[in-house]
Structures are given as C-alpha cells and as structure tokens.
C-alpha cells in the first residue's frame, strides 16, 4: 500500500496501545477442524446435510443482532471522527471504559488522522462470530490510508475490544448473496478427482432437477476454492449468485494449492481437475448432464477452450477476463502499468526488469523442457510448462468449438485488457453465431465495480462481484434451453 513505511509503523503503535487497554485471550481465533469431505459419487443425496443456507428463526435472530452490531460499530467510528467521545463509548463495557475512556478514544483517533490524513467516509461494515464474542468490522477511508476498525461485542452487547488495522489486514469479504437464503440454496463438501483429490464445494438450489451446472476454473497461482483475490471471494460470489438463479455450481481448491508436486504443465495444474469436476457434476441426479458448462476466470478463461476441446460434450464455455497473450507478456504489461501509476517506486521497477528477463528466458528458442525455472514471486517449474503453452491461442481454439460461448470482460481490468486481450476474442469470434461477447464499463479484473483507473489498492478492500455478472450468465444459460442434443 502506498504511504506505508514510518506512517504504517505509527498505526501499529496505535493498535498496540488499544490492545493494551482491551485485548483478551478470548479474542484470539482458534483454528476450526476441517469439515469431513463427502464423496458425491458415492452418496450425492446426502449433500444437503453438510452446509445448508436456509432461512429459519434462529438465523433471522442472529442476522438481527449482527445488523445491530454493524450499525453500532459504524456509529462509534463516525462519532470518533466528529470528536464525540461520549457517543463513541456509550456501549463500552465497564472494564473497557476504565482503561479506554471517552477522552482517550478521541485522542487516539485524532492521532490516527494526524499520521494518515483526515477522515473521509465509512466504506463498508461486516460482522462475524468468534466463540462467545461477536465481531464487527468497519472499513473507512482516511486521506492517505484505508483503515478498518475491529470492534468486539460480548453476549450482552457491550463493547469489550477495539482495534485499528490496515484494511489489507482485515479478513476477506463474506460471499455476497443474501439472495442465497431467499432462494433456499444449500452447499456441501465434495472431492474432485483422485491422486490427488481436490477438496471443493457444490452449491445446489433446493429442489433442483435436471438443472444446468457450472464448473468454476481458477486464475493463475495456488488459488483456493473461493478464488480469493485480495479481499474478494470471486468464486464464492459467483457460486451463490448463480445458485440463487437455479444453477448448480462446483468450485474446488486448485491442484497447485493442494499438491503442487508433480505439476509439469497446465494439464496437471488445471485441465485434469476441471475435467474431473465436469464428470462429477454429470453424476448428480439434480444436474442435466447435457447442460454442464465450464466457467474460467483469467488463466482459467484462457484454458477453458482447451478444456472444452478435451471434454467434447460441454453445454457451453464461459470466459471471464481470459487472456489471449502468453502469461509472461501479460506479467510485463501489468507491471509496466503499475510502474506508470507509481513512477518513484524503485522495487516495482526492479521487479519489472526481473520479469522482463524471465520473459526472455522462457521465450528463448533454446528453452529445454527440463530447464529449471522459478516463477517470479512463486515456486519452481520447468521449461515444459511454458513450452506446452507456446503457440496456444485460446481464441482460435474457441472458434473451432461447436458449443456456445460467452466472453465477458471488465473495461477497468489492468491484468487482462480490452485492447490487448478482449479485442482478440472479438476478432476471432465476432461473426460467430454461437458466441456472445460483452464488456462491463465499470468492472475490474475481479468483476467488481469501481471508478477511475484500477489499482492494487482496490483489491485490499472487501468487495463483491457485481450482481449483474451472475444475472447475465444465468440469463445466457437460460436462453440455451431446451438443452442441445449432444452425442
């Protein structure tokens, strides 16, 4: 984040001071045991017992309390910003208030503004539970920093903890869809493939029968099943947005996250897992096996046509921000763009030169399949990984497919651009009657709405995928009904 350094250390001191006044051992998160996986191929009918998101009185009561906590936490931050210590500390517990009275609370917030700039606005609130303690997070913008207040409530609704952290240190946003409850959608744990098995989650609309289904395929890097990008859970948002619209969705941890040993090319890293996920969905009684789609984001979008070609029976392909250039070229352009935003950032320029040298290495005609390489900022790989992709043009493979294609792109995306990437999809598919292409003017690489040039700082703020994306995908799938006759 820009504006760090000494200023960042000062915020750390403020947080430490608050911690001395109000931290307790009960606020330390405890690791939860992993849920037991259910192999759907053996017992698909048990799926609904694992994770159910259905409305009931207990859930409604918890939501009511959480909404109250979020409102009070926001009121505390806004009161401190206007120097109203009495209002800010109105719900402080006795022990909290004795160590952190109104005047001290105001003074701490004033010091925070002196170091990081004047208060601008509250941007978001979020709640969670940690044992007997309820947590409310309030993200707010100062002139030179994005800060989050972490406020803890006890069972009686008293504030017993109060901390400031950088927004980048706040947990990711929870998956978006309040629609999920209204639509009576359920989720459960599954395993995709074997040797290694990839843990995942299937999202099922209750009462689904012969429903369309979508497999979500990740972008580059060791992504989790939610495809957490900064503070946004891209795949969790898409899964619940599509599930609320009657579509079964399967998402899973990427091979490079679960078992990176043994990855030689994108076949092991991406394609094998995606094909196994497609086969798994076809075995669900709730799913129409003729209407299973692959949705790839970023690297997954580039590989989606290759997955479709290997499967041969997909109902369609959906590409979100799919690059059409080699990975190493995209890296260079991304860092060049960031360097123009921050021309005095010496480490960034050094990083750019490192990536340029790496590009020259992997594009060398003499690159050997066994040549050891190390991805910039990532793990080891061999030349075979890049040789496998050399000469691959996803838009050309897509043009040869017989299935419908949906290509979506955010205009504010600096990682996969309209001019360099989407334009090639347009050139290859513009006259193809099976292809639908769309650009969203305000969306970035995560398909999150914003204004102005997109920057990495946006990724540090909790945000959700725009609802219109799920709506458009669902509408496109619906217009393909009745299902096509497939071999």
The residue ranges of DSSP E strands in 84-234, in sequence order, are 119-130, 133-142, 146-153, 159-166, 185-192, 198-205, 211-217, 228-229, 232-233
Find out whether 70 and 125 touch, Cβ atoms under 8 Å: yes
Global pTM value:
0.70
Digits of tens for pLDDT over the chain (487 positions)? Answer: 333 333 333 333 233 333 333 332 222 233 333 333 333 333 344 454 333 333 345 655 776 788 788 889 999 999 999 999 999 999 999 999 988 899 999 999 999 999 889 998 887 888 887 778 899 989 898 988 889 999 999 988 999 999 898 877 777 766 554 444 445 788 889 999 988 999 999 999 988 889 999 999 999 989 999 999 988 999 999 999 999 999 999 999 999 999 998 999 999 999 999 999 999 999 999 999 999 999 999 999 999 999 999 999 999 999 999 999 999 999 999 999 999 988 889 999 999 999 999 999 999 999 999 999 877 666 688 999 999 999 999 999 999 999 999 999 999 999 999 999 999 999 999 899 999 999 999 999 999 999 888 988 888 888 999 999 999 999 999 998 654 444 4
Q: What is the pLDDT of residue 131?
A: 76
Pairing of strands 198-205, 185-192: antiparallel
Beta carbons within 8 Å of 210's beta carbon, 6+ residues apart: 286, 287, 288
Pick from 268, 277, 325: nearest CA to 298 = 325
The tokens 């590409």 sit on which residue?
Answer: 319
How is residue 396 written in tokens?
A: 């050309």
* Same topology between domain 6-29+55-169 and domain 179-324+393-479: no
pLDDT value of position 482: 56
Residue among 313, 325, 335, 337 at smallest CA distance from 420: 325
- Per-domain residue ranges for the chain? 6-29+55-169, 179-324+393-479
| Dist CA 161 CA 76 (whole Å) | 12
CA distances from 284 to 50, 180, 208, 477 (A): 16, 20, 10, 19
Q: Per this entry, what is the length of the chain?
A: 487
Burial of 312 (0-12, 13-18, 19+ CB in 10 A): exposed
| 102-116 helix and 6-22 helix, angle to the nearest 10 degrees | 170
Contact partners, residue 223, CB within 8 Å, separation at least 6: 253, 254, 256, 257
Class of domain 179-324+393-479: alpha beta
In contact, 464 and 178? CB cutoff 8 Å: no
| β-bridge partners, 232 | 229
Q: How are beta strands 435-440 and 405-410 bridged, if at all? A: parallel
Distance CA 341, CA 343 (A): 6
H helices within 298-406, ranges in order? Answer: 299-311, 327-341, 346-362, 383-389, 394-400
Query: Where is 281: in which H helix or E strand?
Result: helix 272-282
Query: What stretches of 197-286 adopt beta strand conformation (E)?
Result: 198-205, 211-217, 228-229, 232-233, 248-252
Which residue in the block uniquely carries the two structure tokens 């939501």?
Answer: 63
CA pair distance 172, 193, nearest whole angstrom: 28
Q: Which two structure tokens, joined as six digits, stand for 91? A: 């719900």
- CB atoms near residue 260 (< 10 Å): 17
State both tokens at 4: 């760090």
Instruction: Read off the tokens for 158.
Output: 């008293």
Q: CA-to-CA distance for 26 and 447, rounded, in angstroms?
A: 37
Q: Is domain 6-29+55-169 classified as CATH 3.10.450?
A: yes
Q: Which two tokens stand for residue 167?
A: 């927004």
């Amino acid at each position: 984040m820009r504006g760090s350094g000494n200023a960042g250390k000062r915020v750390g001191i403020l947080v430490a001071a608050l911690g001395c006044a109000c931290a307790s051992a009960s606020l330390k998160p405890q690791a939860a045991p992993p849920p037991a996986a259910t192999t759907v191929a053996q017992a698909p009918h048990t799926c609904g017992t694992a994770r159910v998101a259905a409305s009931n009185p207990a859930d409604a009561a918890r939501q009511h309390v959480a909404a109250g906590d979020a409102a009070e936490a926001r009121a505390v931050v806004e009161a401190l910003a206007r120097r109203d210590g009495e209002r800010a500390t109105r719900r402080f517990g006795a022990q909290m208030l004795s160590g952190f009275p109104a005047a001290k609370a105001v003074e701490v917030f004033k010091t925070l503004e002196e170091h990081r700039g004047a208060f601008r606005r509250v941007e978001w609130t979020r709640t969670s539970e940690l044992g007997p303690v309820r947590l409310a997070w309030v993200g707010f913008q100062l002139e030179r920093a994005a800060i989050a207040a972490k406020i803890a409530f006890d069972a009686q609704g008293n504030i017993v903890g109060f901390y400031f952290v950088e927004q980048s240190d706040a947990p990711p946003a929870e998956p978006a869809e309040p629609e999920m409850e209204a639509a009576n959608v359920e989720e459960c744990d599954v395993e995709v493939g074997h040797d290694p098995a990839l843990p995942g989650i299937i999202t099922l609309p209750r009462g689904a029968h012969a429903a369309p289904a979508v497999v979500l395929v990740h972008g580059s890097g060791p992504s989790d099943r939610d495809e957490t990008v900064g503070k946004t859970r891209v795949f969790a948002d898409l899964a619940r947005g599509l599930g609320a619209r009657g579509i079964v969705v399967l998402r899973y941890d990427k091979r490079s996250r679960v078992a990176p040993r043994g990855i030689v090319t994108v076949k092991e890293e991406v394609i094998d897992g995606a094909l196994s996920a497609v086969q798994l969905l076809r075995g669900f009684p709730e799913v129409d096996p003729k209407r299973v789609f692959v949705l790839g984001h970023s690297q997954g979008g580039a590989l989606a046509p290759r997955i479709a070609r290997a499967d041969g029976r997909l109902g369609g392909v959906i590409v979100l921000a799919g690059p059409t250039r080699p990975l190493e070229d995209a890296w260079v352009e991304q860092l060049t763009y960031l360097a123009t935003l921050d021309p005095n950032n010496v480490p960034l320029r050094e990083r750019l030169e490192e990536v340029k040298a790496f590009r020259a290495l992997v594009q060398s005609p003499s690159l050997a399949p066994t040549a050891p390489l190390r991805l910039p900022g990532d793990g080891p790989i061999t030349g075979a990984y890049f040789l496998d992709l050399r000469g691959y043009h996803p838009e050309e493979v897509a043009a040869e497919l017989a299935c419908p294609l949906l290509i979506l792109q955010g205009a504010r995306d600096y990682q996969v651009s309209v001019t360099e990437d989407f334009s090639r999809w347009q050139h290859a598919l513009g006259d193809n009657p099976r292809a639908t292409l769309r650009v969203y003017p305000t969306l970035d690489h995560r398909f999150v709405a914003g204004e102005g040039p997109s920057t990495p700082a946006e990724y540090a703020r909790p945000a959700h995928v725009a609802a219109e994306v799920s709506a458009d995908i669902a509408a496109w799938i619906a217009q393909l009904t009745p299902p096509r006759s497939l071999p």
